[in-house]
Structure 1
Amino acid sequence: MAKIGIYGSSFDPVTNVHLWTASTVAHRCKLDRVIFLPCSSKRQDKQLHVSDEHRMNMVRLAIADNDKFEVDDYEMNQLGWEIATYLTLRHFREKYPDDEIYFIMGADLLVDIGEGKWKRAEDLIHENKFIVMARDGINMLSAISKSPILRNADDGQTFHLIDKGLAMEISSSYIRDELKMGGEPRYLVPDKVYEYIKSNNLYK
């Protein structure tokens, strides 16, 4: 039985922090694989700045030299109104029935789920396992205890909380702003991704 982490994000663009986060989570949680899952441009809650194709290409370039990393375009291939994390995780559980599937997310998203802001929040929590990364200003244990949705599922197996060393805040939006203003965020993204951005004149 393998342990697989599903790492969803816009990856707009993918950054060195994304890679470092995935590597650290894989090491600490003893994951055999991390699947990068770029979100779809059809999602109503996301405003993306380059095409799905460009974001997929950049992730492929970024993870090419790591055997534990792969990328999946599952959400990009779904109809807009059918995209929901609950359905996505069901897909991966069915795709890998003999493995343990974990959804990797930040503590801010845990709070949103606990407040019922996600589709089928209760089913999502009860049917899946989560690796939750610390975010500044969020007490993860308090967030779980305050939410009936979360605390009723807190069986010692559902949530793996990582509260040390994963709060680096170099964001994709910062890198986009630097590129737009003619800045030089070269060492914040993998070299091949930086070359791809430049050669395709992205984020101008």
Structure 2
Amino acid sequence: MASDPSCPFTNPPYYEFPTHRLHSTMRNPAKQPIVLVACGSFSPVTYLHLRMFEMAVDYVRQNTDFEIVGGYLSPVSDQYKKPGLLSAHHRVTMCTLAAEQTSSWLMVDPWEAYQSYQRTAVVLDHFDYEINTRGRGVTTPTGERKHVRPMLLAGSDLIATMSEPGVWSEPDLEHILGRYGVLIVERAGADMDQAIDNLSRWRHNIHLIHQLIQNDVSSTKVRLFLKRGLSVRYLLPAPVVDYIEENALYVDDGPTASASSGAIAAEKEKEREREREAGSSGRGKEKEKAAAP
């Protein structure tokens, strides 16, 4: 895509904002259209990441006057420098496999992943610009244009950090919680009351979603399982598990994991090929022995 001189953001090369599952027309014009945005490492993306969106759908339908018109996963940049963070290429690919093959409405926006580190407030501004300035929002059944409000979707650990003095800047908190708002999914063992009390000035824009079925699957635990050679099937979407196995990801959860994964995968394939050849040779010798007098 040619660079737009009027765009206030720097886009990665060949970037296109995904809109193929974004609803362009509202069902209920009396409601406020929103888009859910989940920012995170997604290293790797788990069923809990996807489940958060479904819990948000139920919460919004039953407790608010919002109408969800889209949902996005936004993987962080490699420059986030978090331990266990695989390359953006792998993380975006895994998120895309999960969204496209297990969901009918989720999308992956690679804008944040393929450039320098972007603050969450800026990421939400990016969605606001793409959907409302460039995309001109959504329409009602009568043709009226309405502004779509991006809202952050996150686990309760995020709101806990927001309530700690000095972790987030006051302007960013005002921007995220005051302008956009957040839907927080409760995590097992988290005490949310104190965190929300510390953010009471934005309480009207903080929506707490309780988990009716507790799920404490985390990317950290998944990486540990993979490093130990344990199965992670049914913890992650099957296409993601297949991708991890095919590329030998997280075998070494150190700083060289991304660079070495391809070499490991190639070596494993060579080993499998040698085993197939050896097996074929062995079966041939057994047949020769059986045919001998």
Q: Following the alignment from structure 1 to structure 2, what is the Cα–Cα distance between the partners of residues 129 and 166?
A: 25
Residues 1:75 and 2:94 aligned together: no
Aligned to 1:129: 181
Aligned to 1:57: 93
Per the TM alignment, residue 121 of structure 1 is displaced from its structure 2 partner at its CA by 2.5
Q: Following the alignment from structure 1 to structure 2, what is the Cα–Cα distance between the partners of residues 167 and 34?
A: 22
Q: 1:198 to 1:169 in 2, by over 3 A?
A: same
Q: 1:113 to 1:184 in 2, by over 3 A?
A: same
Determine which of 129, 134, 143 is the counterpart of 1:94: 129
Residues 1:106 and 2:139 aligned together: no
Per the TM alignment, residue 54 of structure 1 is displaced from its structure 2 partner at its CA by 0.6
Percent of aligned positions with the same letter in both sequences?
A: 28
Per the TM alignment, residue 166 of structure 1 is displaced from its structure 2 partner at its CA by 6.3
Indicate conservation of the 8 Å contact 2:92/2:113, yes or no.
no
Per the TM alignment, residue 41 of structure 1 is displaced from its structure 2 partner at its CA by 1.2
Aligned to 1:160: 207
Residues 1:38 and 2:38 aligned together: no
Aligned to 1:202: 249
Residues 1:3 and 2:34 aligned together: yes
Residues 1:23 and 2:54 aligned together: yes
Aligned to 2:168: 118
Q: Following the alignment from structure 1 to structure 2, what is the Cα–Cα distance between the partners of residues 70 and 34?
A: 6
Compute the TM-score of the two structures, normalised by the length of structure 2.
0.62
Q: State how many pairs are aligned.
A: 196
**What amino acid maps onto 2:218 in structure 1?**
S
Compute the TM-score of the two structures, normalised by the length of structure 1.
0.87
Q: Following the alignment from structure 1 to structure 2, what is the Cα–Cα distance between the partners of residues 176 and 162?
A: 26
Larger RCO: 1 or 2 (CA < 8 Å, sep 6+):
1
Q: Following the alignment from structure 1 to structure 2, what is the Cα–Cα distance between the partners of residues 87 and 42?
A: 16
Whose radius of gyration is greater, 1 or 2? 2
Q: Following the alignment from structure 2 to structure 1, what is the Cα–Cα distance between the partners of residues 38 and 158?
A: 13
Aligned-partner SS, 2:250: coil
Aligned to 2:194: 142
Mean Cα displacement is larger for which, 167-176 or 121-130?
121-130
Q: Following the alignment from structure 1 to structure 2, what is the Cα–Cα distance between the partners of residues 198 and 109?
A: 30
What's the C-alpha RMSD, in Å, of the aligned pairs? 1.9
Deviations 1:39-90 (A, max 9, x none): 111114x22442110111111111113221000012123323xx11111111
Return 5+ residue gaps in structure 1 as ranges: none
Q: Following the alignment from structure 1 to structure 2, what is the Cα–Cα distance between the partners of residues 114 and 188?
A: 30
**What amino acid maps onto 1:203 in structure 2?**
Y
Indicate conservation of the 8 Å contact 1:8/1:39, yes or no.
yes
Per the TM alignment, residue 122 of structure 1 is displaced from its structure 2 partner at its CA by 3.2
Structure 1 runs of 4+ with >4 Å offset = none
Per the TM alignment, residue 167 of structure 1 is displaced from its structure 2 partner at its CA by 4.4
